[in-house]
C-alpha cells in the first residue's frame, strides 16, 4: 500500500459518504487523492475535503483505475457489482453493506476485536452492521475475560441507519406534526415523528425475525468466532437522528458482577463509561452523536438470574461514525 494512497468513496453523497470524507480529514488519513463517486444524477456536484472542492464523478466500471483503497457505502447491489471490479483494478475494498459480511472468504472486522483478520483479505474487507458494532465493542473485553454464552439485546435505532433520506424524513415529518400538517411517509413504512416501530427490514415469516436482527445474530458468531453463542434480539426504530442505543443483558460462563464489568471496561478501547446513578445520567444519543466511542452505562446485576452469571447494561454509539464510517477508516488505517 502506498504511503499516500488514492482513496475512492463510493456513495459520496450519502450520509455515510459524507462521514467518510469528514473522518478521513479529522484523523489526518494520508490521502494522496480523493475520488468521489456516486450515481449519474449526482455527477458534477462537489463535496468539501481539506479546504478544497472535490468534483463528484459518476460511478462506472472504469472508476477504479489508480485507486488504492475504495470505501463503499452505496447499498448491497452496488457493492456486489462494483467491489469485484475495484479489486480487479488493484484496490482494496472496505465495504459497508451486507453484501459480503457472511462470505467465509471475506474478513468481517471490528478493529478493537479482530484486526488480525484484516491480513486474511482477498481484496474485500466487510464492515459489520452498525447494531453489531455498537453491541460488540463493549462486550468483547468482557467475553475475553469471562466467556459470554448468551446475550439478549433490544435496539433503539436512529434514522441515519436508513440513510440521509430517512434522516430528512424524520426532520420534515416532525416539523409537519408540530405545525399540524399531514405528512405521508415516503422512505419508511410508518409515521416517524413521535413514533416507535419495528425495524423496517424484511421479516422472515417463519421465524418472525427481521433482517437486521438476523444480521446481528450471524455477525456476532462470525466476529467472536463462536457458533455456540446464543443471541436474542429485537430491533426497533426510534425518532433519533444519528446514534443508536441498545439495552443488553449478558450471561457468562462464570459469575460476574457489575464491578467486574466496570473494571474490565475502564480501559477498553473504543469504550467510555457513562454511569452516574446519583445524577441518573447514562448513555444518550445526544452525547454519543459526533464522537467515536461507545458509551456504556446502567451497569447492574441481572436480578432475574439468581446464579449471578448475568449483568445488564445500556449502550449508545454514533451510527454514522463507529457504526459505519469510523470503523471502515480504522480498517483502512491498518492497511497502511
- If you average pLDDT over residues 5-24, what whole number do you get? 96
pLDDT-derived band at 264 (thresholds 50, 70, 90) equals: very high
> 33-38 and 6-10: which strand pairing?
parallel
Query: Residue 312 in contact with residue 290, Cβ under 8 Å?
Result: no
CB atoms within 10 A of CB 317: 34
Name the 3-class secondary structure at 332. helix
Query: Residue 170 in contact with residue 190, Cβ under 8 Å?
Result: no
Position 1 pLDDT exceeds 80: no
DSSP 41: G
Q: Virtual CA dihedral for 312, 270, 68, 15, nearest 10 degrees?
A: 70
Say what percent of the chain tops pLDDT 70.
100
Q: For the domain covering 6-127+324-335, report its CATH number.
A: 3.40.50.720
Average pLDDT, the chain: 96
Known catalytic residues are 130, 244
Say what percent of the chain tops pLDDT 90.
98
Tell me the C-alpha to C-alpha distance, in Å, between residue 82 and each of 7, 10, 77, 99.
15, 9, 9, 11
The DSSP code sequence of 45-99 is -EEEETTEEEEEEE--TTTTTT-SEEEE-S-HHHHHHHHHHHHHTTPEEEE-SSS
- If you average pLDDT over residues 106-113, what whole number do you get? 98
Q: pLDDT value at position 23? A: 97
Q: What does the alpha-carbon distance between residue 171 and residue 193 come to, in Å, rounded to a whole number?
A: 8
**H/E segment holding residue 19:** helix 15-26
pLDDT-derived band at 302 (thresholds 50, 70, 90) equals: very high
HSE, CB side, 13 Å, CA atoms: give it for residue 43. Answer: 8
* The C-alpha cell that represents 145 in the structure block: 475475560
Q: Given phi > 0 = left and psi -120 to 50 = alpha, else beta, which region is 74?
A: alpha
Position 316 pLDDT exceeds 80: yes
- If you average pLDDT over residues 249-257, what whole number do you get? 98
Q: Where are the domains of the chain?
A: 6-127+324-335, 132-319
- If you average pLDDT over residues 13-25, what whole number do you get? 95
Architecture of domain 132-319: 2-Layer Sandwich (3.30)
Residue of 287, 199, 307, 304 whose CA lies nearest to 249? 304
The DSSP code sequence of 97-148 is SSSSTT-TTS-B--TTT-GGGGGG-SSEEEPPPHHHHHHHHHHHHHHHHS-E
Position 218 pLDDT exceeds 80: yes
pLDDT tens figures, 279-296: 999 999 999 999 999 999
Residue of 276, 272, 328 whose CA lies nearest to 298? 276
pLDDT-derived band at 2 (thresholds 50, 70, 90) equals: confident
Position 187 pLDDT exceeds 90: yes
- If you average pLDDT over residues 174-183, what whole number do you get? 96
Go through 184-195 and write b for each residue having 16 or more CB atoms within 10 A of its CB, e for each that does not. Answer: eeebbeebbbee
Position 174 pLDDT exceeds 80: yes
What's the Rg (C-alpha) of the chain? 20
Position 32 pLDDT exceeds 80: yes
Start-to-end C-alpha separation, the chain = 6
The DSSP code sequence of 173-222 is HHHHHHTT-----SSSSS--TT--EE-SSPB-TTT--BHHHHHHHHHHHH
Amino acid at each position: 500500500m502506498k504511503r499516500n494512497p488514492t482513496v475512492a468513496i463510493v456513495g459520496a453523497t450519502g450520509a455515510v459518504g459524507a462521514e467518510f470524507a469528514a473522518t478521513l480529514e479529522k484523523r489526518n488519513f494520508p490521502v494522496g487523492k480523493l475520488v468521489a463517486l456516486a450515481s449519474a444524477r449526482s455527477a458534477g456536484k462537489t463535496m468539501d475535503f481539506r479546504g478544497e472542492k472535490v468534483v463528484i464523478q459518476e460511478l462506472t466500471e472504469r472508476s477504479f483505475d489508480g485507486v488504492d483503497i475504495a470505501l463503499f457505502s452505496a447499498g448491497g447491489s452496488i457493492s456486489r457489482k462494483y467491489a469485484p471490479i475495484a479489486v480487479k483494478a488493484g484496490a482494496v475494498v472496505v465495504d459497508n453493506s451486507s453484501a459480503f459480511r457472511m462470505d467465509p472468504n471475506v474478513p468481517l472486522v471490528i478493529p478493537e476485536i479482530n484486526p488480525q483478520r484484516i491480513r486474511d483479505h482477498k481484496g474485500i474487507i466487510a464492515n459489520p452492521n452498525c447494531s453489531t458494532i455498537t453491541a460488540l465493542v463493549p462486550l468483547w473485553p468482557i467475553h475475553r475475560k469471562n466467556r459470554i454464552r448468551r446475550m439478549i439485546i433490544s435496539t433503539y435505532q436512529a434514522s441515519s441507519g436508513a440513510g440521509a433520506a430517512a434522516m430528512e424524513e424524520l426532520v420534515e415529518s416532525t416539523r409537519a406534526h408540530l405545525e399540524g400538517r399531514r405528512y405521508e411517509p415516503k422512505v419508511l413504512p410508518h409515521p416517524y415523528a413521535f413514533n416507535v416501530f419495528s425495524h423496517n427490514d424484511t421479516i422472515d415469516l417463519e421465524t418472525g425475525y427481521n433482517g437486521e436482527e438476523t444480521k446481528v445474530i450471524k455477525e456476532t458468531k462470525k466476529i467472536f468466532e463462536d457458533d455456540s453463542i446464543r443471541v436474542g434480539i429485537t430491533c426497533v426504530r426510534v425518532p433519533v437522528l444519528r446514534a443508536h442505543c441498545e439495552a443488553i443483558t449478558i450471561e457468562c460462563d462464570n459469575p460476574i458482577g457489575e464491578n467486574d464489568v466496570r473494571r474490565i471496561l475502564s480501559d477498553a478501547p473504543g469504550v467510555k463509561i457513562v454511569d452516574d446513578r446519583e445524577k441518573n445520567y447514562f448513555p444518550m444519543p445526544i452525547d454519543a452523536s459526533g464522537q467515536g466511542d461507545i458509551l456504556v452505562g446502567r451497569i447492574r446485576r441481572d436480578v432475574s438470574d439468581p446464579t449471578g452469571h448475568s449483568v445488564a447494561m445500556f449502550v449508545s454509539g454514533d451510527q454514522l461514525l463507529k457504526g459505519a464510517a469510523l470503523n471502515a477508516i480504522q480498517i483502512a488505517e491498518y492497511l497502511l
